[in-house]
Structure formats: C-alpha cells, structure tokens
Amino acid sequence: MSRYIMAIDANKCINCKACVLACQQRNGTPYGHSRNWVRETPDKLSLLGTAYQPGACMHCDHPLCVEACPTHATYKADDGSVGIDPERCIGCGGCIEACPYGARYKHPVTGRADKCDYCRRATPGQVPACVQVCPVRCRVFGDADNPDDPVARALAGNRNVYVVPPDFDAKPTLAYLNGTTPTDWPRRKDVPPALAAIGPLSSVVKAFGGLALFGVIGVFVKQLFWPSDSGKSSDKGDRP
C-alpha cells in the first residue's frame, strides 16, 4: 500500500502564489476560499525580511478533524491521506473548528466541508496541481514508502521539520525540507462537547445498519447546536 506525503522546501518559495491559483482552478474552489496558502512571517534572518511558508491540509496521522466528525464523514485513509465522504458530511462544521491549521472551510454551494485532497479527482498518476505548477519546484509529492520515489529521496536527504501545535501533536505528515519558519503557530481548538459525545454513538448506529437513522440524528444535531440563524459561523476555518 502506498503512503502519500507532500514535502515542501519553504526556502525555495518566492511567494508567486501559482500553487494557490492552480489549486483553485483545478478544484473549482469558490471565490473567497482556498485549499492551500502561502504564509508570510517577518524574519530578520531572511534577505527580504519575510519568510514564506506554503501550506495546506497536513493529512495528520492523529487528525483532530476525524475525532470531531459525528458521522465519520472525515476519515484517515490507508494511503495516508485524510479524506471527506460527501455522502456522510452533514455540514455541521465540527471538523472545521477542530483543525488547528485552518485547512478546512464550508463550501458555500454544497454546504459540506472541503479541503486539500491531493487533487484526488485528477488523472491517476498525476501530481497535485500545486506541485505541477511550482516554478521553483519547492513542492514534492509521492509515495514515501517507495525508496525510488522523489518524495522518499527528498525526505531521506534533508533535515525535515513539521509544524506542530504546541498543545497537541496531531502528527502532521506534511514535511518541510531544510526547516521552515514558524513551526508552532497553530493552536488546538476544543472539540465541541456535543460532537465528542455523538462520536461514539455513531459507531453504535452504524452497527445496526441504520444509515437513514444516522442521517436523521446528524440533521438533528446540526439544527440543535448549529442553527442556521446563529450569525456566527466559521465556514472559512482559521486559515493563516
């Protein structure tokens, strides 16, 4: 089984934003939202006085978004990626709130959570759009368990660091080659108590095969804890 990982050499980034635009174009991301970003941070050691840090979903090994999802719509796949099942997502926003990286948003048309999926809809064997268009080749993507894969060679030949929340290590798999700045900017957001309680219940419902009942419970929870007239939503997450 392949284990897909993205690695980024932030020192090469020139902040051209080609990765952001390519992602939006390939995935049809709605205006005002983005699946990835280039974070700008003041850096006295840089010649330009600014450090650039490209980023996206970290596809964590211990993802908080999976913990927060009451319907198991968000899941950790066998290939290492974190995915979203649109048929299960009820648009409650729990995963958006739980992600410390602000890597998720609620799609204004579908009402469901959306994020980087390594351009899963692309032709098999094709790299994600952000990797394909980067003019300085600062992004590498592939199978980390294949020693002949470019990403495996990059990980083996560099000093790799990870952006880790200081209060909870979600085990992000997106690696920064040769360091990056900063590495401790995210903060964990508390999972809503209602979601924490519903998570175990979803397993019981699934055991009975009651998918229809599962959907009813999901809609009830959504309306109970996230009414449409609340006026304060976090549809865009907390992206840098």
Query: Has residue 137 got a pLDDT over 80?
Result: yes
User: Above pLDDT 90, what percent of the chain?
Assistant: 62
How far apart, in whole angstroms, are the C-alpha atoms of residue 109 and residue 171?
A: 31
Read off the pLDDT of each residue in 25-38 and give the average, rounded to a whole number. 94
Domain ranges of the chain: 4-177, 191-226
Instruction: Please state the separation of Cα 118 from the chain's center in Å.
Output: 10
pTM attached to this predicted model: 0.78
Query: Has residue 107 got a pLDDT over 60?
Result: yes
Collect all residues with Cβ–Cβ distance below 8 Å to 43 and sequence separation of at least 6: 49, 50, 51, 181
Q: Residue 163: name the closest of 184, 138, 191, 136 by CA.
A: 184
How far apart, in whole angstroms, are the C-alpha atoms of residue 234 and residue 93?
A: 7
Three-point CA angle 6, 12, 14, nearest 5° = 110
Length of the chain: 240
| Residue 112, number of CB atoms within 10 A of its CB | 18
pLDDT digits (tens, 9 = 90+) for 214-237: 454 454 445 444 554 444 444 556
Was domain 4-177 assigned CATH 3.30.70.20?
A: yes
DSSP secondary structure string for all residues of 11-77: GG-----HHHHHHHHHHTPPTT--SEEEEEEE-TTSTTSEEEEEEE----SS-HHHHH-SSS-EEE-
